[in-house]
Structure 1
Amino acid sequence: MQITDVILAPGQGAFFYDDQDAIRAGALQEGFVYVGQSKTPGFRSIRVPASSLSLGLVLHDGVVVWGDAMGVQYSGAGGRDPLFDPNTISDLMRRVIAPRLLGVDASRFLAACAEVLQPWEGSRLPLSLEYGVSQALLRAAAHIHRKTMAAIVCSEFDLMLPTRKVPIYCQSGDAREMNVDKMILKGVDVLPHGLINSRQKFGIGGQTFMDFVKWVAKRIRELGTPNYHPVLHFDVYGWIGQEIGLEPQRIADFICRVSETVPEFTVNIESPADFGSTEAQIDEYAKIVSILDGRNSRARVVVDERCNTLEDIRLFAAAKATHLVQIKTPDVGSIADTARAVLICKANKVGAYVGGSCTETDLSARASVHVSVATRADMMLAKPGMGVDEALSIVGNEQNRLFATLNRGVSDPEKS
């Protein structure tokens, strides 16, 4: 079945794009906004409402399938693509991608992605555009074959249909205490993220962060059911290295101290430090991982910054430079590469966490669920947005619907 037309619709991401350099430099937060001058190119202010662009493919039978393009919250930082510009993406879509789409066989997902997402003028397409187009192509293949998106991924990558649910990880945003309570009451598998993205939140010597970790564990004991035992996952945005220095031994020592304060829990520490380049990040993270493993620590390092594309993920996984990789879906590009990234992690015995960003949309989140489940990721992010309820509903319900369909033994047409 062929694509007969391409239509575009402006959209909103579920949160905001933030200038990470300005925040790290000490920009103060007043209410919801940050005060001060932006530092990262493209940002007119430190916090910018997230935009998206919906890409619609009109199929031969008149059905329209959609994918959403957007950037991540901290665009332009850590080696990522610059701030998302819907006008640029729309122009590229009309001039370059639409003619390719009109000639492609939409029933063959991987082949269609390879054909449509070829480089343009000697450079790779913007990763946000790859992400949106590939979602639409996955939905197109699912519609044509009357299968779930997960079943299409399994078929294309020669995988067995999944039988196990993927643990869901929620993020708190700045409303930490209230959202932690919500997560505990709803029995979230992995929590709470914490958004430890400034010196104020990390504290002198990390004490404020350490107190928060202990408080989360205490709250779980107070509010959780007797058998509730989530993984604790904290994103510190490089602040361990920022505050105590970039020496791997000292960073590992700090991570061990964090873990030892809550010995009954497995603790994930995401982005403990930013060493300035992908090569340096691999070298230094490998040392931190080796030290933690040598101590049989229950703490695990999660890489995010400097590990963006499929090739970056391949390098980190092969070097055992992390315990888990956050596969940040809009930064990876094509959602087919998200599937490949999970399989690379598994081949190297490294954890695969299909993440993404609070700036995404309901459509991109639901597509991510199917890829996560099909490839048997170790965990996936509840997204979009920074609220617990909406993201958990979108991702959790999509996973439940998927398994209800798979368990019935029939495929379902794509739900638009």
Structure 2
Amino acid sequence: MQIKDVLLAPGHGAFFYDDQAAIRSGATQDGFIYAGKPITPGFTSIRIQAASLSVGLVLADDTVVWGDMMSVQYSGAGGRDALFETDQISDLTSRVVAPRLLDLNASLYLDACAKVFEPTGHKRLPLAIEYGVSQALLRAAAHLQRTTMAEIICSEFNLPLPMRRIPIYCQSGDARETNVDKMILKGVDVLPHGLINSRQKFGVDGQTFMEFVKWVATRTRQIGRPGYHPVLHFDVYGWIGLEIGLQPQRIADFICKVAEMVPGFRVNIESPADFGSTEAQIDNYAQIVSILDQRGSGARIVVDERCNTLEDIRLFAGAKATHLVQIKTPDVGSLADTARAVLICKENRVGAYVGGSCTETDLSAQATVHVTVATQADMMLAKPGMGVDEAFSIVGNEQSRLFATLDRRRNHTDSVS
């Protein structure tokens, strides 16, 4: 089954692109914007409306299947691709990618991805293109084979039909208290993210952050249903290292102290420090992991910055340089590589968290659910946006619909056999 046309439709991401370097340098918030000048190349202001570009594949039966391209919130930081520019991505997709798509058997997913994503001019295609096109190709294969996207992944990677629901992690954005309450009332599995991305939010020696951790635990007990016991996951955007220094021992000591303040809770600390390069990140994170494990701490560290591509994930997992990898889907590129990343984590007995960004769309979030469930990752991000309600419903409902379909498939197979 061939693709007979390719459509492009500019759109909006669900949040904003932010200049992380400028925020780390002390840019202050003025309402919803940040005051000051941008630092990262491509940014005309510190906060920019997130853009997306939809790619539609017109199949031989005139069905159109879609995928969405975009960048992550902190584009151009931590070794990531530069800021998403719709005109540039549209031009490259039209000139290079579309002709490749018109010469494919769209029913063979991994084969189609391999052909479309070949380098151009000895250079890899922008990861945003890989991400969006891989979503559309996955939907095409599912349509042509009359199955779910999850089943396509299972078939291509020789995986059994999934049985286990994947825990969902919500992120609060800056409306911390209100959104934490929402998460608790909705019974979210993993919360709250916290967006601890500035010195003001982290506090001197981390005091402001630690007070927030204690408040989240207390609030969970106050208004959560009986027996509700979420994982507490905080993203500190490197601020432990920025505030108390880059010595692995001191960072591990701080993380242990945080975990000890909320006994009975599993605590995840994402991006405790940024050591400046992938190699340095692997070496120092491995030391932190070792110290925490030796102490029997209830805390786990999660890598994000400096662990972007499939090869980065392979290196971190192989070195045991994290307890949990955030597989940040737009940074990984093709959804086929997201599936491979989860499987690499499993092979190395490292946790696999299929994340992404608040700047994504409903379509990218739904496709991600299928890959996450098919590979049976450890947790997945509620996305897009920062409002909790929308993201939790998009991801949660897609997972629920998927399992209803898979259960019917299993029951039908059992009755036939």
How far does residue 88 in structure 1 lie from its aligned partner after superposition?
A: 0.8
The equivalent of 1:392 in structure 2 is: 392
Write the mapping of 1:2-401 to structure 2, written as runs, cut at 5 A.
2-401=2-401
How far does residue 189 in structure 1 lie from its aligned partner after superposition?
A: 0.1
SS of residue paired to 1:401: helix
CA distance in 1, matches of 2:79, 2:170: 25
CA distance in 1, matches of 2:156, 2:36: 49
Q: Which amino acid counterpart does residue 274 of structure 1 have in structure 2?
A: D
SS of residue paired to 2:252: helix
How far does residue 410 in structure 1 lie from its aligned partner after superposition?
A: 7.1
CA distance in 1, matches of 2:84, 2:93: 14
How far does residue 67 in structure 1 lie from its aligned partner after superposition?
A: 0.3
Bigger mean CA offset, 401-410 vs 183-192: 401-410
Q: Which amino acid counterpart does residue 123 of structure 1 have in structure 2?
A: K
The equivalent of 2:414 in structure 1 is: none
Q: Which amino acid counterpart does residue 297 of structure 1 have in structure 2?
A: S
CA distance in 2, matches of 1:13, 1:170: 17
SS of residue paired to 2:118: coil
CA distance in 2, matches of 1:390, 1:326: 21
CA distance in 1, matches of 2:410, 2:105: 24
CA distance in 2, matches of 1:409, 1:336: 23
How far does residue 242 in structure 1 lie from its aligned partner after superposition?
A: 0.1
Q: Which amino acid counterpart does residue 244 of structure 1 have in structure 2?
A: I
How far does residue 32 in structure 1 lie from its aligned partner after superposition?
A: 0.2
CA distance in 1, matches of 2:90, 2:125: 12
The equivalent of 1:407 in structure 2 is: 407
How far does residue 226 in structure 1 lie from its aligned partner after superposition?
A: 1.7
CA distance in 2, matches of 1:323, 1:120: 35
CA distance in 2, matches of 1:404, 1:358: 27
CA distance in 1, matches of 2:30, 2:261: 32
How far does residue 409 in structure 1 lie from its aligned partner after superposition?
A: 1.3
Percentage identity across paired residues of the two chains: 78
CA distance in 2, matches of 1:159, 1:198: 42
The equivalent of 1:414 in structure 2 is: none
SS of residue paired to 2:353: strand
Residues 204 and 117 of structure 1: CA distance in aligned 2, closer, same or farther (over 3 Å): same
SS of residue paired to 1:137: helix
CA distance in 2, matches of 1:277, 1:314: 16
Structure 2: tracts of 5 or more residues without a match: 412-417
TM-score, normalising length: structure 1 = 0.98
Offset from partner CA, 1:335-382 (integer Å, 9 cap, x none): 100000000000000000000000000000000000000000000000
TM-score, normalising length: structure 2 = 0.98
Offset from partner CA, 1:365-415 (integer Å, 9 cap, x none): 00000000000000000000001000000000000000001111179xxxx
SS of residue paired to 2:390: helix
SS of residue paired to 2:128: helix
CA distance in 2, matches of 1:360, 1:327: 14
CA distance in 2, matches of 1:269, 1:347: 23
SS of residue paired to 1:409: helix
Q: Which amino acid counterpart does residue 267 of structure 2 have in structure 1?
A: V
Structure 1: tracts of 5 or more residues without a match: 412-416
SS of residue paired to 1:45: coil
SS of residue paired to 1:14: strand
Q: Which runs of 4+ in 1 moved over 2 A?
A: none
CA distance in 1, matches of 2:409, 2:62: 27
